[in-house]
Amino acid sequence: METLWSPTKTGDRGGKWFLSVLALIAVAAPILNQAVPASSPAHLSAYGITLIGKYLCYGMLALAVDLIWGYCGILSLGHTAFFSLGGYAIGMYLMRQIGTRGVYGDPVLPDFMVFLNWKSLPWFWNGFNHFPFALLMMVVAPGLLALVFGWFAFRSRVTGVYFSIITQALTYALMLAFFRNDMGFGGNNGFTDFKDILGFDLHSDLTRVVLLITTVATLAATYLACRTIVESRAGRVLHAIRDAESRTRFLGYPVESFKVYVFVFSAVIAGIAGALYVPQIGIINPGEFAPINSIEVVIWVAVGGRGTLYGAIAGAVVVNYAKTYLTGAFPEVWLYAVGALFVLVTLFLPRGIIGLVQTRTKR
């Protein structure tokens, strides 16, 4: 009976492709890095491993944005706030792992606190020496912020462009707050100079490979979770909210609750993405909160094709690959290129790259 009433489920062919590519990365990247000798042209460098990991973290962030924007019509222009909070949570753990190996050699206080002449650890740093606690916080911090923010915004029926603007304000406010030394998060330098995670050296190739595999597995899991949501009846309610919000409310659905739930879930995915990003990149600072970053995420999703989930991930990878190349080759043109890309996609590819591929392959 399932199949009788599910004409919109086209077997999720794109999703299967996407998961196959992820599986291929999980198998091939470690082999090309570990088993192929460094002298061979097929060897994948540690830099390459980290770059792939970074793109996939961005992909996960794009997935989070697509879930709320593509399916529920909530355009968040502040999603890197949640990404950064997840990053800071894992960053606090990594800072405390440094211990006496820091420049000042203080066993408890991170270098920046010693530098600021602080005598003891601020209360909110307690617990971050335990990895499970940091794992918990990378979910709780963005989730809680999204819950409070979403609850107030959606309950007051703030929608559309107004919602987008206050999400921009949210991430901007957080950026300014995190820039302050008094906040206790390292000010404008943020956290860096990490040594190891769970006792494994962050600079070794093997650790990097394991982090990449973890990223691939988490991305696959979050993708499948989002897929499950959008294909459930709740997913159809989200569609309904996107297309005719008051009609959905009139059918008796608690529209605000649906929005809060999906917004919090999306923020948690963004937080996890940030937490996977920071150990691989090796730094987190308040610049990550910059409003422009959140806007770029929306562009990735638009380029990939919103409302498909895997399209958003593909868009993140493609745009960031272009960014890596362009900022290397012609650093001054990147911002123009990304702006032009957004305009062109909006005008000519409303359904993004995936829409283009789907039209081409349609029987």
Partner 1 sequence: MSARDKKLELEGLTVSFDGFKALNNLTLSVDPGELLCIIGPNGAGKTTMMDVVTGKTRPDSGTARFGSGNNLLEMSEAEIVAAGVGRKFQKPTVFERLTVFENLELALAGTRSVLKTLRARISPEQDNRINEVLGTIGLSGRRFELGSTLAHGQKQWLEIGMLLMQDPELLLVDEPVAGMTPQEIERTSELLLSLAGEHSVVVVEHDMNFVRSIARRVIVLHEGRVIAEGDMDKVQGDPKVIEVYLGV
Closer CB to partner 1, 240 or 273, in the complex: 240
Q: Which stretch binds partner 1 (CB under 8 A): 4-12, 150-158, 182-190, 353-361?
A: 4-12
Angle, nearest 10°, between helix axes 46-72 and 79-98?
A: 140
Q: Which stretch binds partner 1 (CB under 8 A): 31-39, 110-118, 225-233, 283-291?
A: 225-233
Task: Answer yes or no whether residue 221 interacts with partner 1 by CB under 8 A.
Answer: no
The residue within the footprint of partner 1, chosen from 3, 7, 41, 362 (CB under 8 A), is 7
The residue within the footprint of partner 1, chosen from 49, 237, 298, 312 (CB under 8 A), is 237
Angle, nearest 10°, between helix axes 291-304 and 334-348?
A: 40
Task: Answer yes or no whether residue 156 interacts with partner 1 by CB under 8 A.
Answer: no
The residue within the footprint of partner 1, chosen from 108, 247, 339, 359 (CB under 8 A), is 247
The residue within the footprint of partner 1, chosen from 79, 239, 306, 351 (CB under 8 A), is 239
Q: Which stretch binds partner 1 (CB under 8 A): 21-29, 181-189, 193-201, 255-263?
A: 255-263
Structure tokens at 320: 């960031």
Q: Which stretch binds partner 1 (CB under 8 A): 39-47, 173-181, 204-212, 253-261?
A: 253-261
Residues 328-347 that bind partner 1 (CB under 8 A): none
Strand positions, DSSP E, 63-205: 191-192, 196-197, 200-201
The residue within the footprint of partner 1, chosen from 232, 325, 333, 339 (CB under 8 A), is 232
Task: Residue 35: name the closest of 24, 43, 27 by CA.
Answer: 43
DSSP string, 12-66: THHHHHHHHHHHHHHHHHHIIIIIS-TTSTTPPPHHHHHHHHHHHHHHHHHHHHH
The Cα 322–Cα 60 span in angstroms is 18
Task: Answer yes or no whether residue 1 interacts with partner 1 by CB under 8 A.
Answer: yes
The Cα 311–Cα 351 span in angstroms is 9
Task: Answer yes or no whether residue 10 interacts with partner 1 by CB under 8 A.
Answer: no
Min dist CB 239 to partner 1, Å, is 6
To 5 degrees, how large is the angle CA 282–CA 287–CA 293? 100
